[in-house]
Structure 1
Amino acid sequence: MDVSDLKVFEAVARLGSMNRAALELNTVQSNVTAKIRNLELELGVQLFQRQARGVQLTPAGRRLLPFSPKLSKLLSDAKTAALDDGSPNGELEIGTLETTAALRLPTVLANFARTYPLVRLVVTTGTTCSLVSDVLGCRLDSAFVAGPIGHPDLLHTPVFREELVLVAPRSLRSLEDLGFLQNLQTIVFRIGCSYRLRLDTFLASRGFLVTQPLEFGSVDAILGCIAAGVGISLLPKGVVASAWRDGRVSIHELAPEDAIVETELIRRRDTYVSSAMSAFLNCLTSERFPTLQAAE
C-alpha cells in the first residue's frame, strides 16, 4: 500500500465510479481498476461492490476510508519534511471563496508568486462547505472560508472582516420595498455557500417566501443577472462597489448581526507546516492582515 493506491481508493470511494475517478486523476480506467484490485489482494478483503452503474463501498471499504486521506497526507508530509531544506518550493494547494479570490487575494498571490518562484501555487475556488471538506480530506493544504469554523481537527485564523450588503436591481430603493418585488428571486452560489444561508435566513426573518434560487459560479455572473433585474443577492460590499458606482445595481446595508462575517484561514492541526506554507503565512502577515496566530 502506497500513497498512489490510497489516492485512487479515496477518489473511487468519493465519486462512486472507476471511470469518474480516472478522469479526475488524469489516467485511464484500466489503471484505476488495476490499482483497486491490487489493493484488495494485498489487504485480503473486497473494498468495493461492483454494480451496473458504478461501485459502492463494502463494510471493509467504509472502515478503511477514514484512514485513507490521513495516511496519504502523512506519507506526503514525511516526504516533504525530508526534502524541506528551508527554501520554499514544491506545490502548495490553497482553497478560497470566489469573493475572497476577487477582492482580497490578487495582490497577495502576485507578491507570493514573485517572491517564491519555486513554489507551484494552485488556487481552487469553492463554497465554505466544500472547502472545509477538502481541507479535512487533505485535498487542500489550507483554505479561506467564512467563519466561524469550530471543527476540532482544524486550526482557524481570522484574517479579515467583510461587510455583507443586499445587492439588488437599481429599481429597489430600500429594504422596505422588497415586498413589492414580484416573484422574489435570489441569485446565489451553489449550496454550501455561507452567504447564501445568511440571505435565506434574512429573508425568512422578514416573512419572504423565495422561489427556487438561481445558482452561478462567479461574482460577475451574479452581478450581471442582478443588473438585468432578475433578482437579489448577498455579497461583500467591496466586491460590488464597482458595479454600484457604475449605477448597475443598488446596495442596501444590513444590521451588523446580519452583515459582519469573518473570513478565516483554516488548515489541519496534524499536518506538517512546510517552508512553502510558512512563507505563505508570512506573505499574508506582510499584507497588514491581523497577526496570524492559529486559534485553538
Structure 2
Amino acid sequence: MDIRQLNAFWAVSRTGSITRAAAMLGYSQSAVTAQIKNLESAVRTRLFERRRDGVRLTPGGERFLPYANRLLRLSEEAVSALAPEAPLTGRMTIGASESLTTYRLPDVIRHFHAAHPDVHLMLRTFHEGPDHMMEALVRGDVDIALTHCIDPGPVGVPARRLAPEPLALVAPPDHPMAAGDAVTTDELRRTRTLIVQASCVYDTALRASLPGVRAVPPLQFGTIEAVKTAVRSGLGVALLPRVAVTEQLRTGELVELRWEPGVTISSYVLLGKEQDGSQLLSALDSLLDRVVREWHQPAAAHVPCDELG
C-alpha cells in the first residue's frame, strides 16, 4: 500500500462517496476507484460496500480505518519533523456537540484556519451525547472531540477540562412557573420538559437532578434549535446551555426560571490514546487554551484572539 491509496481510503470513508472524495482530493473518480481497488488488493480485504446512495465501510474497513488514520498522521508528522519551520499541513476531523459547534467553535475554526491555512479541517456534529463521541474517537472516526460532560468528566479516554458551561432552565414568559419564586424539584417533575435526545448531557443532568420518575414524559426534538422553538411555542420548559439561549433571554422571548441542577457541566477536549505528540492536535489544543478565556466574558470585554498572550 502507499500514501495515495490511504489518502483515497480516508477521503471516501469521510465523504461516503467516490465523487465527493475525488473532488476533495482533486483526482478523477476513476483514479480514486483505482486507488481503492489497489488498496483492497494489498490488504486482501474488501473495504467498502457499494450502494445506490454511495459507499459504506465494511466491517473490515471499519477495523482498518484507525490504522489508516495513524499511518497518514505519522507520514505527515515525519514530513513536518524534517522541515520544522514549514507551515503545518495535513488533515484533522473534529467531533463536537451541537452547542459547541454552533456557539463556541466558529471563532476557534476561524483563527486556526488563519494560522494554518494548509490544514484541511472537517467538522462532525454530534447530537446524541458524549458517549457516542467517545466511541467515534476510539474508532478513529474523529481525531479530537469537544463535548459537554457532567463533572468530573468522562472516563476511558484522555480528557482535559476547558471551562464550566452554565445551564439555564428556560420557559416562555407566560408559563405558570415564570411568575413564582424558585422552582421546586417537585414542580419540575410534574412539568413537561423538552429535550434534545434522551442520551444528551443536558437531559442526563436533568434526570440526575430529579430523583424518581418524571410524572410527565419529556418530548424529544432532536436539536437545540428545535427545542428552543418548542419552548417559545409553550410546549414546556427546557434545560439548555445558557449560551444557546442568551439572545432569546435578552429579547424576552424566553425567561430563565429560578432553579439550579444538582450537577455541573463543563466543556472537555477528548483525545485518542494514540495521538500524543501530534503537531496538529497540539496546535488546536493551544488555540483552545487561548480562546476559552473569552467564553464567559461579557461581549464588550472580549479581546480578539490574535491579541491574546
**Preserved CA contact (<8 Å) 1:91 1:120:** yes
Structure 1 range deviating more: 240-249 or 65-74 = 65-74
**Aligned counterparts, 1:113-128, within 5 A:** 113-127=113-127, 128=130
TM-score (norm 1): 0.71
Once the two structures are TM-superposed, the CA of residue 169 in structure 1 deviates from its matched residue by 2.4
AA at the equivalent of 1:137: R
AA at the equivalent of 2:164: R
Once the two structures are TM-superposed, the CA of residue 247 in structure 1 deviates from its matched residue by 1.2
Q: In 1, Cα distance between the equivalents of 2:19 and 2:164?
A: 35
Q: In 2, Cα distance between the equivalents of 1:145 and 1:123?
A: 13
Find the partner of 2:172 among 169, 172, 181.
Answer: 169
Once the two structures are TM-superposed, the CA of residue 36 in structure 1 deviates from its matched residue by 7.8
Once the two structures are TM-superposed, the CA of residue 180 in structure 1 deviates from its matched residue by 6.4
Match of 2:282 in 1: 278
Once the two structures are TM-superposed, the CA of residue 9 in structure 1 deviates from its matched residue by 10
Match of 1:3 in 2: 6
Find the partner of 1:139 among 127, 138, 141.
Answer: 141
Find the partner of 2:206 among 199, 211, 218.
Answer: 199
Match of 2:220 in 1: 214
**Preserved CA contact (<8 Å) 1:159 1:289:** no
Q: In 2, Cα distance between the equivalents of 1:288 and 1:47?
A: 40
AA at the equivalent of 2:252: G
AA at the equivalent of 1:250: V
Judged with a 3 Å threshold, the aligned counterparts in structure 2 of structure 1 residues 124 and 22 are, in CA distance, closer, same or farther, namely: closer
Structure 1 range deviating more: 172-181 or 236-245 = 172-181
Find the partner of 2:67 among 60, 66, 71.
Answer: 71
Q: In 2, Cα distance between the equivalents of 1:108 and 1:213?
A: 33
Q: In 1, Cα distance between the equivalents of 2:105 and 2:11?
A: 32
**Matched residue count:** 269
Once the two structures are TM-superposed, the CA of residue 186 in structure 1 deviates from its matched residue by 1.8
Judged with a 3 Å threshold, the aligned counterparts in structure 2 of structure 1 residues 91 and 74 are, in CA distance, closer, same or farther, namely: closer
Matched, 1:83 2:97: no
Q: Deviations over 1:209-237 (max 9, x none)?
A: 343622233x3332121111112221112
AA at the equivalent of 1:211: P
Aligned-pair Cα RMSD in Å: 4.1
SS of aligned partner of 2:117: coil
**Aligned counterparts, 1:222-233, within 5 A:** 222-233=227-238
Match of 1:235 in 2: 240
Match of 1:129 in 2: 131
Judged with a 3 Å threshold, the aligned counterparts in structure 2 of structure 1 residues 45 and 125 are, in CA distance, closer, same or farther, namely: closer
**Preserved CA contact (<8 Å) 1:88 1:279:** no
Which stretches in structure 1 are left out of the alignment for 5+ residues?
12-19, 51-56, 291-296
Match of 1:247 in 2: 252
**Aligned counterparts, 1:153-164, within 5 A:** 154-164=157-167
Matched, 1:97 2:97: yes
Q: In 2, Cα distance between the equivalents of 1:202 and 1:24?
A: 48
SS of aligned partner of 1:266: strand
Higher normalized contact order (CA 8 Å, seq sep 6+, divided by chain length): 1
Q: In 2, Cα distance between the equivalents of 1:168 and 1:273?
A: 46
Judged with a 3 Å threshold, the aligned counterparts in structure 2 of structure 1 residues 3 and 216 are, in CA distance, closer, same or farther, namely: same
TM-score (norm 2): 0.69
Q: Deviations over 1:17-47 (max 9, x none)?
A: xxx954797589xx88x958984x7666889
Q: In 2, Cα distance between the equivalents of 1:115 and 1:273?
A: 19
Once the two structures are TM-superposed, the CA of residue 200 in structure 1 deviates from its matched residue by 3.5
Once the two structures are TM-superposed, the CA of residue 150 in structure 1 deviates from its matched residue by 1.0
Match of 1:186 in 2: 194
Once the two structures are TM-superposed, the CA of residue 167 in structure 1 deviates from its matched residue by 2.0
**Preserved CA contact (<8 Å) 1:81 1:272:** no
Once the two structures are TM-superposed, the CA of residue 102 in structure 1 deviates from its matched residue by 3.1
Judged with a 3 Å threshold, the aligned counterparts in structure 2 of structure 1 residues 273 and 141 are, in CA distance, closer, same or farther, namely: farther
AA at the equivalent of 1:162: E
Judged with a 3 Å threshold, the aligned counterparts in structure 2 of structure 1 residues 25 and 117 are, in CA distance, closer, same or farther, namely: closer
Q: In 1, Cα distance between the equivalents of 2:232 and 2:19?
A: 36
Judged with a 3 Å threshold, the aligned counterparts in structure 2 of structure 1 residues 288 and 216 are, in CA distance, closer, same or farther, namely: closer
SS of aligned partner of 1:208: coil
**Preserved CA contact (<8 Å) 1:186 1:233:** yes
Match of 2:154 in 1: 149
AA at the equivalent of 1:265: V
